[in-house]
């Protein structure tokens, strides 16, 4: 008789790590990410300040991103596919709300992962290598975001209605997957065990999901409606102030994806 597979032997631990990484750091990062992006509604200057703060980590930013964002996302997504492969949605036989959420949780998980992969490529190009950015990412409409021109390049990247629709679908999929995942995580970890507690938690998670969806779609709206020319002027001014103060040096040695786009007419 063959011995159980690694996944079967460690199913208890893997499922809890799966639910835990979905909340921390992946879910927590998504909340912060959407909140920061929504500040574009307050103007290009505030948004640029927030982006400057994030990119003040400089070369360490790549290490932080892979350690606390990309690797946990990959672990959560790959294990999620394994869980989905072993699951049998019975929504057609038992069309209850719980079964619909069961199916949506898995469907939105797949959509969210595809969206995140495309989103990172669309704005950042996946890999921070000069050759890759210039010869692969940009020709395929990737690496559209520049840290020194945060609002203006984000606005240009979101100018297409098709891109806006794709982002709206991706954001809503991510939000539902997180909100409903928090509810299922509470059951997995024994936080709410009674029917009454689960009902209260479901309502709370629903409210949280609606609020986060509003934040996410507001960020998308702000990016899609930004005045690119006005934003570029603010960004140029802020960049020159930072150069004059010594916070940054002229970017002659920086990658093309990082160099600021300066309007020489200003």
DSSP state of 149: G
8 Å CB contact between 157 and 122: yes
DSSP state of 44: H
DSSP state of 10: T
pLDDT at 139: 92
DSSP state of 3: P
pLDDT at 55: 85
The fold of the 6-245 domain, in CATH, is: 3 helical TM bundles of succinate and fumarate reductases (1.20.1300)
- State both tokens at 91: 């929504």
Confidence of residue 178 (pLDDT cuts 50, 70, 90): very high
Cα dihedral 241, 244, 247, 250 in deg (nearest 10):
100
- State both tokens at 19: 């639910």
User: What is the rounded distance in angstroms from the CA atom of residue 52 to the CA atom of residue 63?
Assistant: 17
User: What is the rounded distance in angstroms from the CA atom of residue 30 to the CA atom of residue 219?
Assistant: 12
Domain locations in the chain as residue ranges: 6-245
Tell me if the pTM is above 0.85.
yes
CA 212 to chain centre: 13
Please write the tens of the pLDDT for every residue from 120-162.
Answer: 999 999 888 888 998 999 999 999 999 999 999 999 999 999 9
Q: Which helix (H) or strand (E) holds 213?
A: helix 195-225
8 Å CB contact between 224 and 45: no
CA 31 to chain centre: 9
Q: What is the Cα Rg of the chain in Å?
A: 21
User: What is the rounded distance in angstroms from the CA atom of residue 31 to the CA atom of residue 24?
Assistant: 11
């Amino acid at each position: 008789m063959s011995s159980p597979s690694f996944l079967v032997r460690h199913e208890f631990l893997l499922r809890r790590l799966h639910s835990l990484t979905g909340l921390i750091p992946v879910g927590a990062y998504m909340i912060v990410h959407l909140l920061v992006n929504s500040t574009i509604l307050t103007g290009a200057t505030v948004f640029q300040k927030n982006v400057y703060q994030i990119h003040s980590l400089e070369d360490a930013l790549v290490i932080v991103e892979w350690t606390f964002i990309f690797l946990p996302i990959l672990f959560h997504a790959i294990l999620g596919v394994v869980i989905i492969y072993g699951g049998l949605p019975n929504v057609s036989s038992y069309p209850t709300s719980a079964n619909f959420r069961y199916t949506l949780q898995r469907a939105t998980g797949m959509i969210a992962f595809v969206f995140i992969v495309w989103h990172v490529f669309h704005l950042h190009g996946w890999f921070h290598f000069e050759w890759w950015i210039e010869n692969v990412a940009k020709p395929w409409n990737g690496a559209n975001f520049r840290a020194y021109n945060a609002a203006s390049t984000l606005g240009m990247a979101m100018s297409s209605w098709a891109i806006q629709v794709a982002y709206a679908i991706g954001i809503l999929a991510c939000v539902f997957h997180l909100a409903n995942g928090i509810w299922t995580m509470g059951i997995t970890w024994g936080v709410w065990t009674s029917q009454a507690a689960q009902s209260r938690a479901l309502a709370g998670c629903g409210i949280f999901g609606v609020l986060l969806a509003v934040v996410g779609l507001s960020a998308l709206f702000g990016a899609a409606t930004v005045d690119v020319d006005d934003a570029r002027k603010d960004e140029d001014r802020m960049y020159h102030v930072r150069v004059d103060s010594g916070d940054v040096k002229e970017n002659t040695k920086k990658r093309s994806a990082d160099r600021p786009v300066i309007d020489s007419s200003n």
